[in-house]
Structure 1
Amino acid sequence: MTETTPTRCGFVAIIGAPNAGKSTLLNRVAGVKLSIVSPKAQTTRFRIMGVLMRGTSQILLVDTPGIFQPKRRLDRAMVAAAWTGMQDADLTVLLVDAKAGVSDLTDAIITKLAKAHREVWLVLNKIDLVEPARLLPLIAKINDRLTCTQTFMVSATTGEGVAELRDALAEAVPEGPHLYPDDDLTDLPDRLLAAEIVREQILLQTHQEVPHETTVETESFQERKDGSVRIDANVTVSRAGHKAILIGAGGARIKEIGARARLELTKLFDRKVHLFLTVKERANWDEKTQHLRALGLDD
């Protein structure tokens, strides 16, 4: 009688300071772009889950917002989402920027993880930017404060070390039935993915001109008879001046944002996308409960 290999399934939360590379790592491990990436801190605002199949294992990778000192209601909701993602997971991956080392924010995260008494793996990221001699002392410094059952050194940007991490996660998740169809990529609805891709282009193209708190909400997502999709999205800013910057002279800036986002969405959804953007001014939107809930955050 032939023995069947048991299926495995488990949640793995990626936690760390802003700009540690959590979203880049999620995308690299999953092999597809699920979480937006920009050089700005706090790009990820809510829990994003990637569904990764590796043999008979289903790894549910949870990318959490970077943990920082919150100032606004939006900030507090983002940090709460990060810790909730960790508490709900079977395994926590502490991602540390090897170049930055143990910053004050990373130090605070280590302190809290040490008190949580959960299994933690340490992953040093951006090793391609660091002299190898610096890595072992950094690992020792962290393990003096926090017991990490496994340690990996990776570059989420180049892919170095990621395959070894992926294989280890597949073996580590607990035995059990798969919770999602094996061909699913994420639990995020298409409407939210579309809004995030637009927000990524805003962050990449406006740099410091428009504040980070700009948000995007999908107003409608319509399947068309020819197989394409029409997406109408609202871009919300808090000041009239920011609205003018986003629109640009003769609408040039918002057209370019839309064009680049459309290309990304076409690749993501594997079909033609018709994207229409509207820029709105709404003061203090990030302090309003309904807008936080629209982002999938608890107030």
Structure 2
Amino acid sequence: MSETSETTPTPLVSDKARCGFAAILGAPNAGKSTLVNALVGQKISIVTQKVQTTRFPVRGVAIHGDAQIVLVDTPGVFTPKRRLDRAMVASAWGGAADADALVHVVDAPAASRTSEGRGDGSDKRTHEDVQQVIEGLEKQGRKAILALNKVDVLERAKLLDLSQAFFEKGVYDEVVMISALKSSGLKRLNDLLAERMPQGPWLYPEEQVADTPMRVMAAEITREKVFLRLHEELPYHATVETDAWTERKDGSVRIDQTLYVMREGHKGIAIGKGGETLKWISQNARKDIAEAIERPVHLFLHVKVRENWIEERAHYTALGLDFDA
């Protein structure tokens, strides 16, 4: 895959061809990115145990029979508190507005615990976020496919009760039970999505799995490693930008990136003792980027303090987010 996405249409323009967009909605950490990666068949969206890691819509391309399904992995829907939060939530609903199909991914175990009155604070926040999605669907007058996720850890009786309770809310026309992590239950979801794609030629070549520019995807991969390594130490005060992408004569790529943090104290955390933390982030990001573009990568990652990056219009524009949301 080259740095920029190709837009040359595939030869498949038969009468049977279908192509359209499916927006994947849900509360933070419901498993949306894991589901999109599973449907596409490879990693195109970052996945961590922390919520709100997807900051802008990532589009993956899946093929099921004669249908090409463009999956829009939207940022989680939650109660926004900051400008970035508002932009992310607006982006999620923006991705849903023009989609041919909607999938609402729900963390089934969390929903079950809440319904039984034994959920913790995290489960209660998830319940509130799920209700926001339901209310949003009601306002749009749209029907969605309900994807109850992580069902492999719940008893069947509880799943059936949960499915019935959600279906009675009136915003769903289908329910599927899946485990995105284990790629189970996905055939039926693929069947449903393929049926909802309008007839028409495919938008992307058959081999293309994402339409995010690789310099942006490379930055997202590095940001994922920041989340994985630093956990609670540097939760949401960091971002990564790809400054330069240089093609080398030997077929490899040199990528220069900057990890921006908001405070001087964060810089030391990101670098770590003797540079150990930054080295770990760089090595693991380089490996994943190389696998994504199928070429050797030379990654040079630097850390800088930029106190107000979260309030800079240019940062939002680069990610396709509405600064004024």
When normalised by structure 2's length, the TM-score is: 0.88
Measured against aligned partners, the alpha-carbon deviations of 1:135-174 in whole angstroms (never above 9, x if no partner) come to 1111121122233121100000111101221233223211
Partner of residue 117, structure 2: none
Partner of residue 197, structure 1: 221
Does the alignment pair 1:246 with 2:270?
yes
Q: Which runs of 5+ in 1 are unaligned?
A: none
1:158 aligned partner, one-letter code: K
- Which has the higher mean CA deviation after the structures are superposed, 169-178 or 79-88? 169-178
Q: How does 1:28-107 map to 2 (within 5 A)?
A: 28-101=38-111, 103-107=127-131
Number of residues of Structure 1 aligned to a counterpart in Structure 2: 296
Q: Is the 8 A contact 1:91 1:118 kept in 2?
A: no
Q: Which runs of 5+ in 2 are unaligned?
A: 1-13, 115-126
CA RMSD between the two structures: 1.2
Q: Is the 8 A contact 2:104 2:147 kept in 1?
A: yes
Q: Is the 8 A contact 1:36 1:44 kept in 2?
A: yes
Q: Is the 8 A contact 2:24 2:71 kept in 1?
A: yes
When normalised by structure 1's length, the TM-score is: 0.96
Partner of residue 140, structure 1: 164
Higher relative contact order (CA 8 A, sep 6+): 2
2:86 aligned partner, one-letter code: R
Does the alignment pair 1:7 with 2:31?
no
Post-superposition offset of 1:5: 5.0
Measured against aligned partners, the alpha-carbon deviations of 1:15-65 in whole angstroms (never above 9, x if no partner) come to 000010000000001101000000000010000011112222110011000
2:255 aligned residue (231, 248, 255)? 231
2:192 aligned partner, one-letter code: A
Partner of residue 268, structure 1: 292
- Which has the higher mean CA deviation after the structures are superposed, 66-75 or 186-195? 66-75
1:178 aligned residue (183, 186, 202)? 202
Post-superposition offset of 1:252: 1.2
Does the alignment pair 1:215 with 2:225?
no
1:25 aligned residue (24, 35, 39)? 35
2:59 aligned partner, one-letter code: M
Partner of residue 164, structure 1: 188
Q: Distance in 1 between matches of 2:239 and 2:171?
A: 38
1:127 aligned residue (151, 154, 168)? 151
1:98 aligned partner, one-letter code: A
Q: Distance in 1 between matches of 2:171 and 2:79?
A: 24
- Structure 1 consecutive aligned stretches of length 4 or more whose deviation exceeds 2 Å: none
Q: Is the 8 A contact 1:214 1:237 kept in 2?
A: yes
Post-superposition offset of 1:178: 1.2
Q: The residue matched to 1:291 in structure 2 has which SS?
A: helix
Q: Distance in 2 between matches of 1:215 and 1:295?
A: 11
Percent of residue pairs identical: 51
